[in-house]
A and B are shown apart, each in its own frame.
Chain A
Amino acid sequence: DTGVSQDPRHKITKRGQNVTFRCDPISEHNRLYWYRQTLGQGPEFLTYFQNEAQLEKSRLLSDRFSAERPKGSFSTLEIQRTEQGDSAMYLCASSLDPVMNTEAFFGQGTRLTVV
């Protein structure tokens, strides 16, 4: 299967703990995106990379959030000192480096529950 892969699928953590999620994009895709989705909302943009460069961060991404994409392959999203408001589905997507617009392909997401 050459789709976008996310790990873990589910994570339950206590408030105040740190969590890290991993995303493996489609291998030939240069762009990688992180989105967050809460109940009743559409996916909300968090940040994205072109190869290893982080090009944009949403104002939704507080200082407790950090994302990396070393060597332009997989990416990690870390949340430090988790809060109950961080509970959401975290979605990763990838796309070809767009000279023209192309669709983004999503992984199955990581559902985070902060208790």
Chain B
Amino acid sequence: DQQVKQNSPSLSVQEGRISILNCDYTNSMFDYFLWYKKYPAEGPTFLISISSIKDKNEDGRFTVFLNKSAKHLSLHIVPSQPGDSAVYFCAASEGNTPLVFGKGTRLSVIA
């Protein structure tokens, strides 16, 4: 039973355009959501997070939006850069329990 779902295995975007990565979850008790970025042969790197009391959090080129009623969050990257090419994982937790991850979306930013 996949509690965190990333339904797009891959996404291709041109350099300079917006990248939008989506994530859905089924557990309504999740109250903390994160995005991680992963390069090959490395561990995931924390990117940005959002608490369930907010609907938006911004950090430079990265913005995360949370729609609790739809159990959906998205990561916007603008403008996209070739160095953003990586696998992006959505993760969620309930209280202070361990993170539950989605399967990831591979982003390719084309120059």
Contact = CB atoms under 8 A, between A and B. Distances in A.
Interface stretch (B62-70, B74-82, B99-107): B99-107
B31 A101 contact: yes
Contacts of A6: 43
A44 to B, nearest CB: 7
A97 to B, nearest CB: 8
Contact count band on B: 20 to 34
A14 B9 CA distance: 33
Given A98-B96, A101-B32, A104-B99, A43 B44 contact: yes
Contacts of A44: 101
Interface of B: 4, 6, 9, 31-32, 34, 36, 41-46, 49, 51, 89, 91, 93, 95-104
Contact of B103 (A35, A42, A56, A111): A42
Contacts of B103: 40-42
B109 to A, nearest CB: 21
12 contacts: A6-B43, A33-B98, A42-B91, A45-B98, A45-B99, A56-B98, A91-B44, A98-B96, A103-B49, A106-B36, A109-B41, A111-B41
Nearest to B93: A101
Interface in A24-45: 33, 35, 40-45
A4 interface: yes
Interface of A: 4, 6, 33, 35, 40-45, 48, 56, 91, 93, 98, 101, 103-109, 111
Contacts of A108: 41-43
A56 B4 CA distance: 20
